[in-house]
Structure 1
Amino acid sequence: MQVMGYMVHLLEEELIKHLDPEVRAVLDVGNYIVASGGKRMRPILSLLTCKALGGDEKSVLPLAIGIEYIHVASLLHDDVVDGADRRRGKLSANVVFGNDLCVLTGDYMYAKALWLYSVYGNLKSIEIVSKAVMDMAQGQVLELKSVGDLIDEDTYFSIIDRKTGALFGASMAVGALVAGREDYEEFYRIGLKIGRAFQLVDDALDYSGSEEKLGKPVGSDLKEGKCTYPLISVIEKLNFEDVKRSLRSGEILWLREKVVELGGVKKTYERALTEVQDALEELYGIVGKDLVQPLEALIISVVKRER
């Protein structure tokens, strides 16, 4: 935990330092969303993966910062698309600064990330992170197109593997690449599973969490008409037409309560735990269990967030 605390402190300093826009308004938006906090899960995965494999984590630091810029940019864009008004317990940046400025600041942060990769990385690292950004965009489009509809489990995982899993995969792959590993694609697949688990827990918390801990209203995804794993896991026990009407009308209180009652949240945590266990087994097989602390602790923490 001491190692992770040090890394979070280091990341916070570097996130502000590298942002460095010439236009003050971009800095204002960037500082606002960066200062609002966050788990920094993705860049820490890069740092700890590199360290576990015998690399110098400081060598991957600018690339880890780039990964966090990509994540933050996606949040800026997501809040505009979703019309969100809360993020991490305070007003979302689009409410404070307006949609136009947030979209353009997100664009700047994507570009800054790629600049960092062009300066501190290599062609392969640029390929990895660019592919992740393309996957993220396609995942968001797939999700947007499914709003108000019931989707099956395969479609759900197709969405979250792109919108969330891809950047987790890139985080570990880049850490492995900087450590000199040629099997970085194996680490991408491990990261993808961790990203799956992370999104599954997020989707469970949308049903069972609290606004104070989530930093946004509980049930916000459901109210937007998004069909996620807690609902998918119990859909056979519900009336399809009633569910569709709720998703499309935003009247979801009864549906949220019914999904919890039927065990949808419990099933979602169980699936998240399975993904984490699979990821750890693969990691142990490649690296060895004795070499992956505190990376192991970070991965386990994904499923230990507040229920």
Structure 2
Amino acid sequence: MKFLDAIEKRLLEELNPKVRLVLETGRYIVESGGKRLRPLFTVLTCGLCGGNPERALPLGVGLEYIHVASLLHDDIVDGAKTRRGKRSANLVFGNGVAVLTGDYMYAKALHLFSTYGNIEMIRVVSEAVMDMAEGQVLEISKVGDIISEEEYFRIIDGKTAVLFGACFGVGGLSANCKEWEELKKAGISIGRAFQLIDDLLDYAGDPQKLGKPVGNDLREGKCTYPLISVLGELNRDYVKRVLRGLEEPEALRQKVIELGGVEKTRERARRELERAREILNRFEDNEYKKEILKLVDFVVDRNI
């Protein structure tokens, strides 16, 4: 990918705290890897709209810092022990250092947007961060409960999709694109698809490729789309007992797979991506559009 090396380099260059432990923690999670979809979408969307992608590079880095900060905080909330096949940062450095490093990254993102962006971009991103926090709180409040499809999408829109939307919106704004709000909608649909596939992989992924065991959502009492899509064929009292930790979750995980929950989730992700493609195809063809559409295909077809 054309801009990936530049993104990786800038992610480390901008990480320049005065306290060494913050640097060590930040580098630990940044160097753990990641697909860098958010900064790539930001830069490519700028190019799609006829802008200079280099202008959007620090903005994409800021959006990736927001994503990384959310991972640091999520792992503390979830008590996670692994992240991308490595020990989680909170396990290595402690909860206090991890949460404060996350705070530093949020502030660094704001600094990048105040330096390279404009007030409209800051509004878009700050709204996304507020929605992310609300999505996470809503998810926590529903642990152990069966939730509706509507509640599920409220959760994943907050925790995942709105940040993808911000990437497309900021990319459009950096090119002075009048249709940036439509691009933001495309990003939200892509973010929805991304989270749907994440939730699918928690049921039927390869633990070695994922870098973590499957079945975590059920063990943590989270009701996600694969389960929601087949609830009508399951005993709800049994499902509640599993979600509340009163029954072993493995049998339910296997049953959801047998009933087609994985296929139904992938199909719903494909429908979300069709909405995104419909918007993207309104724009003229260029090399950046081609790369965006490749990444869109990757989102739904990936196995990690």
Q: Percent sequence identity over matched residues?
A: 57
Amino acid at match of 1:231: L
2:56 counterpart residue number: 60
- Which residue in the other structure is 1:257 paired with? 254
The equivalent of 1:105 in structure 2 is 101
How far apart are residue 288 of structure 1 and its match? 3.5
When the two structures are superposed, what TM-score results if normalisation uses the length of structure 2? 0.98
How large is the Cα RMSD of the aligned pairs? 1.0
Cα separation, 2, equivalents of 1:80 and 1:304: 29
Matched, 1:159 2:155: yes
CA shift, 1:290, in A, is 5.5
Q: What does 1:3-152 align with in structure 2 at a 5 Å threshold? A: 4=1, 6-152=2-148
Q: Offset of 1:283 from its aligned partner?
A: 1.2
Provide the C-alpha distance between the structure 1 equivalents of 2:120 and 2:279, rounded to a whole number of angstroms.
Answer: 23
Partner secondary structure for residue 281 of structure 2: helix
Which residue of the other structure, out of 156, 177, 183, is the alignment partner of 1:187? 183
Count of residues in correspondence between the two structures:
302
Task: Specify every segment of 5 or more residues in structure 2 that has no aligned partner in the other structure, as ranges.
Answer: none
Residues 218, 242 of structure 2: 8 Å contact kept = no
CA distance in 2, matches of 1:182, 1:281: 17
Letter aligned with residue 29 of structure 1: T
Change in 2 beyond 3 A, CA 1:290/1:27: closer
CA distance in 1, matches of 2:159, 2:262: 21
Are residue 232 (structure 1) and residue 232 (structure 2) matched? no
Instruction: Tell me the amino acid that sits aligned with residue 205 of structure 2.
Output: G
2:207 is equivalent to residue 214 of structure 1 = no
Q: Deviations for 1:103-134, whole angstroms, at most 9, x for unmatched residues?
A: 00000000000010001100001001000000
1:296 aligns with 2:279: no
Q: Which moved more, 1:210-219 or 1:186-195?
A: 210-219
State the alpha-carbon separation in 1 of the partners of residues 242 and 290 from structure 2.
45
| Mapped contact 1:168–1:194 kept (Cα < 8 A) | yes
With normalisation by structure 1, the TM-score equals 0.97
Match of 1:174 in 2: 170
Distance 2:217 2:77 in 1: 13
* CA apart distance, 1:215: 1.1
Q: Does 1:275 align with 2:269?
A: no
Q: Shift of residue 304 of structure 1? A: 1.0
1:278 Cα shift?
A: 1.3
Deviations 1:56-113 (A, max 9, x none): 1110111100000000000000000000001001101011001010000000000000
Moved over 2 A (4+): 288-291
SS of residue matched to 2:39? helix
Give the superposition deviation at 1:303: 0.4
Report the alpha carbon displacement of residue 289 of structure 1 after superposing the two structures with TM: 4.7
Alignment check: 8 A CA contact 1:210 1:218 kept: yes
